[in-house]
Amino acid sequence: MFKTIALASALVLSASVSAMAADAVYEVPAAPVAVDAPAFTWAGAYAGVQGGAGWLDGTFGLAGVGSAKQDFDGGVVGGFVGYNWQFSNGFVAGIEGDLDYNFNEESAAGIDIGTDWAGSVRGRVGYAFDRALVYGAAGWTFTNGYVKGAGIDENEVFNGWTVGAGVDFAVTDNLFVRGEYRYNDFGDKDIVPGLNADLDQSVVKVGLGVKF
């Protein structure tokens, strides 16, 4: 009788241990599955602010008198908006528009001459080295030229072309900084009858942008 009870107890104990062992194996959590972080992309819309310095050269021709040159150098501040498309091979294409204010007025004989508002619409082509985007850009540009003083108050919008290059660098997935050089040829136009102005400008800018 004692042997029967002992054998039965041993069987029950063995079954219990086996069940606990099975439960213990079953409850071991599965190893986490590695998930690759999505690769950074320049694709999408963006906007930002920019500022820098501009060196504008003006050639002024007065009918029957001759011509003279004047430099208009000063600060530039403004903003930009654009959209990029990025391809699997790393190339990036986009379109961008900007609007700046130029502080480059010069005065002579009581007359103020300069340009104030300027802007452009440009196509951009570049290559992305991960978070660094090196690009070139070209397109249409304009600026507002004016002459004020001595009974004169005239404004004329000059239209021309622009070309340049720069680098955008993404500090975070949504924030990037920019450095850019641009050459603007605004063409020539008569600001007042008999006074023709031919304007071109070099600009160096830095910017801060947000990618949406």
pLDDT at residue 170, rounded to an integer: 98
Q: What is the pLDDT of residues 86-144, one digit of tens each?
A: 999 999 999 999 999 999 999 877 889 999 999 999 999 999 999 999 999 999 999 99
In a domain, 30, yes or no: no
Q: What is the pLDDT of residues 5-22, one digit of tens each?
A: 444 444 444 555 454 544
Nearest to 140 by CA among 163, 156, 124: 163
Q: Is residue 83 in some structural domain?
A: yes
Into how many domains does the chain fold?
Answer: 1
Please indicate, yes or no, if residue 68 is contained in any of the structural domains. Answer: yes
- Do the domain assignments include residue 37? no
Lowest-pLDDT range, 26-35, 85-94, 188-197?
Answer: 26-35
Residue 187, domain CATH: 2.40.160.20
Higher pLDDT, 36 or 144: 144
Provide DSSP, 97-154: EEEEEEE--EEETTEEEEEEEEEEEEEEEEEEETTEEEEEEEEEEEEEEEEEETTEEE
Let me know if residue 8 belongs to a domain: no
pLDDT on residue 13 = 43
DSSP for 48-66? EEEEEEEEEEEEEEETTTE
pLDDT tens digit string along 133-191? 999 999 999 999 999 988 888 999 999 999 999 999 999 999 999 999 999 999 999 98
Does residue 19 lie within any of the structural domains? Answer: no
Within a domain: 9:
no
What's the confidence (pLDDT) of residue 32? Answer: 65
pLDDT of residue 79 exceeding 50:
yes
Q: Which domain holds residue 98?
A: 44-211
Please, what's the b/e burial string for 144-166 (b: 16 or more CB within 10 A of its CB; e: otherwise)? bbbbbeeeeeeeeebebebebbb
